[in-house]
Structure 1
Amino acid sequence: MTACGLDFGTSNTTLGLHEAGRPALVRLEGEETTIPSAIFFAPTTEAKVGRAAMSAYLDGEPGRLMRSLKSVLGTGLIDEATQVGRERVKFREVIARYLAIVKRRAEAAAGRPLDAVVHGRPVHFVDGDQEGDARAEETLREIALSLGFREVSFQYEPVAAALDYERGVAGEELALIADIGGGTSDFSVIRLGPDRHAREDRAADILANEGVRVGGVDFDRRLSLGAVMPLLGYGSPMKRAELEVPSTYFHELATWSSINKLYDGRAVRQIREVRREAARPELLDRLIRVIDDERGHGLAAEVESAKIRLSEQDEATLPLGWVESGLEAGIRRDAFERHTHALAEKIRERIARCLIAAGIAAVRIDAVFLTGGSTRIPHVRQAILGAVPAARAIEGDTFGAVGAGLTIEAARRYG
């Protein structure tokens, strides 16, 4: 039996195999072990995934891009159908098609079929909904079985990251694992050490797990709504006093998983009706241009890029000349932090809850292990480190630690 660890993330995916006694992530796209969780359906060719999917869309190829696929797990959308070319396909089938391509590429690299998988999962797919959590996990199980896996099990993503970190620890320690991904923020308080690493049962070492549905896509959305959507009419007045342009269109355009809803023709017809009663119709013309040209995902990608730049610099410019000549959005880091302060606060609060659940005072945490792309956002990082001020900050493999840990767990469970 050949087992793998599969980290199907909101933004990126990795798959690992245990080779020569250690986990190794498979090259899934050229030389890259990390592949964006995106799929592009073209009218006459096979679906493209990852960077190829994003490039096809951004290059203007006819077709349909879907990203942040994981976001629909645990929600009613999973069994709704979406238009893909001439057919309507349920979202669970879209996920299955994406993961089938990932599995085939991994099997080609390994030279043998993959029979068993340890799937990563967040502590909570959805907040405050145990039934939704159970449905999300069961959906992933059903999809994995449909792809030919005979054995399917799950591990919390922060626990998996801890197993990867543990390979390098010299002595026993109490660690907080902070995995801030594209869709969720997940935390574990866990005892680690070289003597513990070989144990078959680690349940006693895991003192608490917590999570909240806050991730990189939420920071993208808040940044878009705060700095970009007002240029397209968000928050602008109607001619009738005390009314604003309806906000639904802007929220959908700012959210990766709902952008495609705007492309069915009905949204533009409704917006044109709103435009007639808008006090600033020229702003709505910009919104219509984005939707007519189906450039919503491109706009979201530019917002994401600006977010990443703001993690390194104080200001970023988002060019929007393709919407209107000379149009651009200038964004400062302090404005970004203001727009997303509540999200960072939710992360801090969830860490506090995790420590309480573990029965551990913050000062007893020896190390905090950071993984996931959103740990690079300065005020998110401050929220995490501020919660455990005495702990050493350990940088994990930003996009690979969870996949490596799941691979370790797969070897432990399935040999």
Structure 2
Amino acid sequence: MSSNIPAPASSSAHLASFCAIDFGTSNSAIAIPRKDSSDAHPGMALVELEPGHLTMPTAVFYFAEGRHDADGPPRAFGRAAVAAYIEGSDGRLMRSMKSILGSGLIDQTTDVGGGRGVKYADILAGYLKRLRNKALAAGAAAPLNKVVLGRPVFFVDGEPARDAAAQQSLEAAAHAAGFEEVHFQFEPIAAAFDFEHQCDSEQIVLVADIGGGTSDFSVVRVGPQRMSRLDRRDDILANHGVHIAGTDFDRHVELASVLREFGYGSYGPERPGAPAREVPSGVYFDLATWHLINTVYSPGRVAELRNMRSFYGNLQHHKRLMTVVEDHLGHELAARAEGAKIAVSGGGDTVIDLSVVETGLQIELTEAVAVAALDADIGRIVQAGRETVAMAGLRPDQINALYFTGGSTGLRLLAERIAADYPQAIHVRGDRFASVATGLGLHAARLFAR
């Protein structure tokens, strides 16, 4: 399977030595020059990363057993990584790796099982190298040493130094993966380039790129007469974003539903002369955050939680919590919460099966509960869109089109809340998982095929 990207008007050589990568919080994709490309027609195509799929979950599973090979420790990537975890293989699943960028974790070493430790920076590099190898196997000729990487408008909100450090860390990971020349493009700008090929006249588009880790907005002037221009800086009227998106939605849904069955928000026993105290919440926030889940499995943490039994008014909550930490079921709970969010995203209710922890345990997640859990985050995202339009010096009625991309735009309430501010704009939905990669490919062809 491949997805062809129209060829830009520019021309030159070295078509086989570059690619474009959308390294996403939840899913990733890579675009390379098409096999029928020429100097005059440097078209691009998305690579089939897994059978039948042009995107691959941004996930790595490190097996506790097995020998290192030339590419590093024994690992599985993408859907195979998730499958290894679900099947109970001994090891560690890493997801939402992009969220590590800009944090102090990037230079730290984490335990991946079997007595092995791996630096987070090496985990990122290993995943990017996997994408590069997939591209080479799909027909991209070596050395494939030039890349355009997508990046959110902000890796870190309101902290320019940390944001710059995040990009530097991603660039270093790309170099470690074998890329010598690394360029960046804002992800919502790339999505605007994808939208541009659908335009038959000049338009002002507000791109809403709501992914797994960030919600990014850009106001971009697009049109058929502008597609061949490499320098599009004067067409980018504004870009802005917030570090809130799908993984935050998952966390809030899990805290509002699943983890309440394990003691989150509950109280301890009443004691003479003193009111009941709320159960400490730290473990629950860690269980609801993918890259922190493994921290609750350390022997010291497990012992600490075991000794907190007297803190619980409902001892069944504590028993369930200990089953989760002792049997390493944190990622399973997070996955169930994510699935429930997706199930109610279009409206309606769902039932979350938690029998993996306790026979017969299940809870209902209603759309109303999910909406209440996500309301504050959705409000901040909608406000970021408004601020972006204002930064461009425009009124909402001057936006000609809204272009939605990113996996989290499938959340009905979110898309409706954003669209309500721009009633005169047409609403266009791109490929939620591939629009950014497509646009990055277009930009790479313009940049490198010169």
Range class of TM-score, shorter chain: over 0.9
Deviations 1:218-257 (Å, cap 9, x if unpaired)?
A: 0000000001111000011123524111101001101112
Q: Which has the higher helix share?
A: 1
Contact 1:245 / 1:274 at 8 angstroms: preserved in 2? Answer: no
Q: In structure 1, what is the Cα distance between the partners aligned to 2:206 and 2:347?
A: 28
Query: Which structure: larger Rg?
Result: 2
Q: Which residue of 2 aligns with 1:44?
A: 65
Q: CA deviation at 1:286?
A: 0.5
Q: Which residue of 2 aligns with 1:69?
A: 97
- Residue 271 of structure 1 aligns to which amino acid in structure 2? L
Q: CA deviation at 1:97?
A: 1.4
Deviations 1:67-111 (Å, cap 9, x if unpaired)?
A: 000001001111121102212211111111122112111111124
Q: In structure 1, what is the Cα distance between the partners aligned to 2:294 and 2:99?
A: 14
Q: CA deviation at 1:274?
A: 1.2
RMSD (Å) for aligned C-alpha atoms: 1.1
- In structure 2, stretches of 5+ residues that fail to align are 1-13, 67-73
Q: Aligned to 1:97, which of 115, 126, 136?
A: 126
Is it true that 1:7 corresponds to 2:22 in the alignment? yes
Q: In structure 2, what is the Cα distance between the partners aligned to 1:17 and 1:259?
A: 35
Contact 2:345 / 2:413 at 8 angstroms: preserved in 1? Answer: no
Alignment TM-score, normalising by the size of structure 2: 0.90
Q: What SS class does the counterpart of residue 83 from structure 1 fall into?
A: strand
Is it true that 1:309 corresponds to 2:343 in the alignment? yes
Q: CA deviation at 1:301?
A: 1.0
Is it true that 1:300 corresponds to 2:321 in the alignment? no
Contact 2:343 / 2:350 at 8 angstroms: preserved in 1? Answer: yes
Q: Which residue of 1 aligns with 2:3?
A: none
Q: In structure 1, what is the Cα distance between the partners aligned to 2:46 and 2:309?
A: 51
Q: In structure 2, what is the Cα distance between the partners aligned to 1:207 and 1:278?
A: 54
Q: CA deviation at 1:44?
A: 2.7
- Residue 124 of structure 1 aligns to which amino acid in structure 2? F
Contact 2:258 / 2:333 at 8 angstroms: preserved in 1? Answer: no
Contact 2:32 / 2:140 at 8 angstroms: preserved in 1? Answer: no
The range that moved more, 200-209 or 312-321, is 312-321
Q: Which residue of 1 aligns with 2:71?
A: none
Is it true that 1:195 corresponds to 2:229 in the alignment? no
Q: What SS class does the counterpart of residue 286 from structure 2 fall into?
A: helix
Q: Which residue of 2 aligns with 1:58?
A: 86
Contact 2:126 / 2:177 at 8 angstroms: preserved in 1? Answer: no
Q: Which residue of 2 aligns with 1:149?
A: 179
Q: Which residue of 2 aligns with 1:88?
A: 117
Alignment length, in residue pairs? 415
**How is 1:181-260 mapped onto 2 (pairs within 5 angstroms)?**
181-239=211-269, 241-260=275-294
Q: Aligned to 1:377, which of 380, 403, 411?
A: 411
Q: CA deviation at 1:160?
A: 0.4
Q: Which residue of 1 aligns with 2:425?
A: 391
- In structure 1, stretches of 5+ residues that fail to align are none
Contact 1:347 / 1:383 at 8 angstroms: preserved in 2? Answer: no
Percent identity between the two aligned chains = 42
- Residue 427 of structure 2 aligns to which amino acid in structure 1? A
- Residue 235 of structure 2 aligns to which amino acid in structure 1? D
Contact 1:183 / 1:218 at 8 angstroms: preserved in 2? Answer: yes
Q: In structure 1, what is the Cα distance between the partners aligned to 2:311 and 2:258?
A: 22
**How is 1:161-180 mapped onto 2 (pairs within 5 angstroms)?**
161-180=191-210
Contact 2:200 / 2:224 at 8 angstroms: preserved in 1? Answer: yes
Q: In structure 2, what is the Cα distance between the partners aligned to 1:368 and 1:57?
A: 38
